[in-house]
């Protein structure tokens, strides 16, 4: 009997606890909104905050309680998520164009110049506190990778001293935009293949001294654009992604290479001047042609005689 006593006690405690938990689950039961559950199941779960809410749960709750909240606020999910959320809510999907992050600077170690050697904390935020950074261009990438650290999707890397975004893996969470102290990372529609990779607001002469590939505001791109998609604002070329057709003419025309394209551009080959022949060369060429004709006629005659 002494052996079974502890077992009986444990079983009794278990039964009592089970009864108590069952009663508590009935008394304190909170009904789950089915709409919330559907919406939360569709959301990607990145909890990046790019939608403007604290996380996916917060955004799902807002969609459930307020029918004026847009279904297109999650950049990670893209257009397919918009359709799924709209279906769960029973509203019209609207539109959500996929975006990608772009670093508006091409001033790598080969293109730009340094003012000093920096030996402080290796973050862009810290470097900017020291007279705006160590580069001659005060608007360019500082190169310590605050954006790389902020990206949870490994879509940004440092390449030769400047940040570079992988457009194929970028989910448009905007974490890098918020992390960059230079404010040179922006979001553009994925279809935009042509961008001005410069953020300098200095005049052309000053920009050229600091960086070999900076925009000098010459306006050649404006003149060559057939769609009025480019304007010069504060000595910097700005492309309107709505008007731009990605034709690439501005890429070819830019004298410094500040305008870049994310698609192959068919460059216009310069027309080669055909040198004119002298009268002697023309006479010689005619003589050769006549000789060939005569040889062909003689060959044909021999064939007929045989």
Q: What is the CATH number of the domain that holds 112?
A: 3.30.70.20
Residue 224: per-residue pLDDT:
95
pTM as predicted: 0.66
Residue 29: per-residue pLDDT:
59
Q: Above 70 in pLDDT, residue 270? A: no
Q: How far apart are CA 165 and CA 242, in angstroms?
A: 21
Top pLDDT among 142 and 12 is at 142
In a domain, 4, yes or no: no
Q: Beta strand pairing status for 230-233 and 236-239?
A: antiparallel
Q: Above 60 in pLDDT, residue 232? A: yes
Domain encompassing residue 184: 98-190
Contacts of 298 (CB under 8 A, 6+ apart): none
Top pLDDT among 274 and 121 is at 121
Residue 50 near residue 72 (C-beta atoms within 8 A):
no
Task: Read off the pLDDT of residues 137-186 as tens digits, 9 standing for 90 and up.
Answer: 999 999 999 999 999 889 999 999 999 999 988 988 889 999 999 999 99
Residue 196's pLDDT band (cuts 50, 70, 90):
very high
- Same domain assignment for residues 172 and 235: no
Q: Above 60 in pLDDT, residue 285? A: yes
In a domain, 26, yes or no: no
């Amino acid at each position: 009997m002494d052996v079974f006593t502890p077992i009986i006690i444990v079983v009794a405690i278990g039964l009592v606890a089970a009864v108590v938990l069952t009663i508590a689950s009935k008394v304190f039961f909170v009904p789950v909104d089915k709409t919330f559950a559907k919406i939360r199941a569709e959301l990607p779960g990145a909890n990046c905050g790019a939608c403007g809410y604290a996380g996916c749960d917060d955004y799902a709750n807002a969609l459930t309680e307020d029918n004026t909240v847009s279904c297109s606020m999650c950049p990670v999910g893209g257009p397919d998520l918009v359709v799924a959320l709209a279906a769960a809510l029973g509203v019209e999907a609207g539109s959500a164009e996929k975006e990608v992050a772009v670093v508006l600077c091409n001033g790598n170690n080969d293109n730009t110049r340094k003012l000093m050697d920096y030996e402080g904390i290796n973050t862009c935020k810290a470097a900017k506190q020291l007279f705006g950074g160590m580069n001659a261009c005060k608007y360019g990438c500082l190169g310590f990778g605050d954006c790389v650290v902020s990206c949870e999707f490994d879509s940004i890397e440092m390449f030769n001293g400047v940040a570079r975004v992988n457009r194929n893996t970028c989910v448009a969470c905007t974490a890098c935009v918020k992390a960059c102290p230079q404010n040179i990372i922006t979001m553009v529609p994925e279809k935009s293949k042509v961008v001005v990779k410069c953020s300098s607001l200095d005049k052309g002469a000053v920009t050229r001294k600091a960086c070999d590939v900076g925009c000098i505001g010459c306006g050649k791109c404006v003149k060559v654009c057939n769609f009025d998609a480019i304007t010069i604002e504060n000595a910097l070329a700005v492309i309107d992604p709505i008007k731009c057709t990605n034709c690439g003419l501005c890429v070819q025309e830019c004298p410094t290479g500040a305008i870049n394209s994310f698609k192959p551009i068919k460059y216009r080959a310069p027309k080669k001047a055909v040198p004119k022949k002298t009268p002697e060369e023309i006479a010689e060429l005619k003589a050769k042609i006549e000789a060939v004709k005569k040889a062909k006629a003689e060959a044909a005659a021999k064939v007929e005689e045989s």
